[in-house]
Amino acid sequence: MADSLEDKSVGIVLAPRGSEEVEFTEPKSAVEDAGGSVDVLGIETGEVETVNGDLDPAGSYEIEKSFDEVTVEDYDGLVVPGGTVGADTLRGDDTAVEFVQDFFETEKPLAVICHGPWTLVEADVVDGRELTSYHSLETDIRNAGGNWVDEEVVVDEGLVTSRNPDDLEAFCDKVVEEIEEGEHEDRQTDDV
């Protein structure tokens, strides 16, 4: 597995503030440990602060590229961490939502954890999909047409979702596996 993602490029999204640190750092490390390269993406470039448990300050990280500077074609996979404030900020930003929606339509692996599926709901891509999230998003996902299940990791045609930081080991394993597999041609939105 050390080089299973050699020549693969992955974008990992950070919000301007409030992304859950381990949901960013662990998938990033998993991709890099598997030989992939990672770009940290966000609404705008610059330093951002992450959190632990939504409330406690964690680390400071650099957003290397804004959504306006890249295209979905630049990446073989995309990861969207959670964090209540971070996920809420991302779902309220048109460029973030459009990037996630466009990425979903490429049929490339898209991995989202915890509160991150709020962005999927806002991007209108959960209808007919089976996914999981932090338990408080269950109603949002069901109202958007998704089939919410309570499992540590769910994969639906390359869409990888997990509930919370306790699921990170399974989530990271599936992130690497799905990016290694590549595009999932059966994944389409109802309006595509």
Q: Could you tell me which residues come within 8 angstroms of residue 180 by beta carbon, excluding any fewer than 6 positions away?
A: 4, 5, 8, 34
Angle at 116 (CA atoms; ends 103, 175), nearest 5 degrees:
60
pLDDT of residue 1: 52
pTM: 0.94
Residues near 142 by beta carbon (within 8 Å), at least 6 away in sequence:
148
CA distance 19 to 96: 14
Query: What is the per-residue pLDDT for 188?
Result: 57
pLDDT at 185: 72
Distance, in Å, from the CA atom of 167 to the CA atom of 147, rounded to the nearest integer, reads 19
| pLDDT given at position 191 | 47
CA gap 12, 87 in Å, rounded: 13
The residue written with tokens 């309006």 in the block is: 191
How far is the C-alpha of 31 from the C-alpha of 189, rounded, in Å?
Answer: 27
Residue 102: φ, ψ to 5°: -65, -40
CA distance 75 to 158: 14
pLDDT in tens, the chain (192 residues): 568 899 999 999 999 999 999 999 999 999 999 999 999 999 999 999 999 998 899 999 999 999 999 999 999 999 999 999 999 999 999 999 999 999 999 999 999 999 999 999 999 999 999 999 999 999 999 999 999 999 999 999 999 999 999 999 999 999 999 999 998 776 555 444
Looking at the DSSP bridge assignments, the partners of residue 42 are: 66
Q: Where are the alpha helices (DSSP H) in the chain?
A: 21-33, 84-91, 94-105, 117-122, 138-143, 168-181
Catalytically active residues, by annotation: 114-115
Domain ranges within the chain, ordered by starting residue: 9-181
Contact 96, 13 (CB under 8 A): yes
Q: Does domain 9-181 have CATH number 3.40.50.880?
A: yes
Give the model's pLDDT for residue 3: 84
